[in-house]
Amino acid sequence: MQAIVLREYGPPENLKWETLPDPEPQKGEALLRVRAVSVDLFQMEFRSGRALQIPLPRIIGNGPAGEIARLGPEVSGFSVGQRVVVCNNISCGNCKYCRMGRETLCAGLNNHRGGMIGAHRDGGYAEFVAVPARNLLVMPEGVSFEQACLIPNTIGPVVKACSARARIRAGEDVLIIGAGGGMGLHAIQAARACGARVIAAIRSPRTAQACAASGADVVISTRDHDLAQEARRLTEGWGVDAVLDFVANRETLQASIAALAPGARLVIMGYFPRGGILETLTWPFTEEIEVTGNRSAGRQDIAQCLALIQNGRIAPVIGRTFALKDAVAAHKAFEAGEIVGRAVLVV
Ligand SMILES: [Zn+2]
């Protein structure tokens, strides 16, 4: 098969187009014929060596979508030809967190016994990948491979953040900071799907149109406005009921706290919120505010997203597609900030 292989951590050029033997599905695994795989922040962090230091070579790529090509031994409940999307996290299914339905906190993920497809074991930047059958979710009619591959790392985490972490209810006001990014544009849609009014905060006016197209009710530029003041002005002085902060630096975190209404929730977003320091007086906590984070998407979140896309509540924003062999160009475009929404590699 043809695949993109990373042999040394570094710049996009380190992604090499190579011919390798097809993988063999082991016990409990399925062989996936990959059709689409997303280009997002995790692959940039992994490729550069900033995320993890795992021995290479590795075929990178998280959450591919495709068709089941072959089933390994002891797999039931699936059949060859089914259209599926892959959950990244290899959770154990048995630990305290898996048992209580919070498999993204699985103890096996924390200590890398299970790990992530596309990091701890080969991923989806390839024509074929063998994955645990337990990680497969069958795609409904009306959802394309290109759309589905954006779920595991992008749409899934923001849907989970809105529903499980921020617990957004109909009629609430939600402030999204960094709304113009690949995750932010989908967060606007997810918050709207929960019934919220969405205030989208962006730095550059370049993404204002995309925010509006994703359903933002108000778009404000952080260059022109004091975020917290504007959030209070738009809510008759109360403040917003939830903030999703995708930027999460000292400045935005302070603005986030100041923008919260009594009883509101702040969710610190992103896989790699580096260097952010949350500085606050303790008095906001007497207003019963909650501060939390959000880690990846589990199978339940992915299933929820498949339904949201199928019924039209969320429309994946695919800015550009590339052929798999052009992964270097796709990574360069991502890092240059040229992609609106997400880029997809088509296999
Ligand atoms: Zn577990």
Residue-wise pLDDT for 30-88, tens only, equals: 999 999 999 999 999 999 998 888 999 999 999 999 999 999 999 999 999 999 999 99
191-220 pLDDT per residue, tens:
999 999 999 999 989 999 999 999 999 999
Determine the average pLDDT of the residues in 285-311. 95
Q: How far is the CA of 182 from the centre of ligand 1 (A)?
A: 29
pLDDT for 112 equals 54
Tell me how far the alpha carbon of residue 328 lies from the centroid of ligand 1, in angstroms. Answer: 35
> What's the 173 CA to ligand 1 centre distance in angstroms?
35
The Å distance, Cα 132 to ligand 1 centre, comes to: 15
Domains of the chain from N-terminus onward: 2-150+316-346 (3.90.180.10), 158-293 (3.90.180.10)
Share of the chain above pLDDT 90, in %: 85
HEC assignment per residue over the chain: CEEEEECCCCCHHHEEEEECCCCCCCCCEEEEEEEEEEECHHHHHHHHCCCCCCCCCEECCCCCEEEEEEECCCCCCCCCCCEEEECCECCCCCCHHHHCCCHHHCHHHHCCCCCEECCCECCCCECEEEEEHHHEEECCCCCCHHHHCCHHHHHHHHHHHHHHHCCCCCCCEEEEECCCCHHHHHHHHHHHHCCCEEEEEECCHHHHHHHHHCCCCEEEECCCCCHHHHHHHCCCCCCEEEEEECCCCHHHHHHHHHHEEEEEEEEECCCCCCCCCCCCCCHHHHCCCEEEECCCCCHHHHHHHHHHHHCCCCCCCEEEEEEHHHHHHHHHHHHCCCCCCEEEEEC
Q: Is the predicted pLDDT of residue 109 greater than 80, yes or no?
A: no
pLDDT band per the 50, 70, 90 thresholds, residue 272: low
Residues 150-170: tens digit of each pLDDT = 999 999 999 999 999 999 999
| Average pLDDT for the chain | 94
Q: Ligand 1 centroid vs 262 CA: distance in angstroms?
A: 35
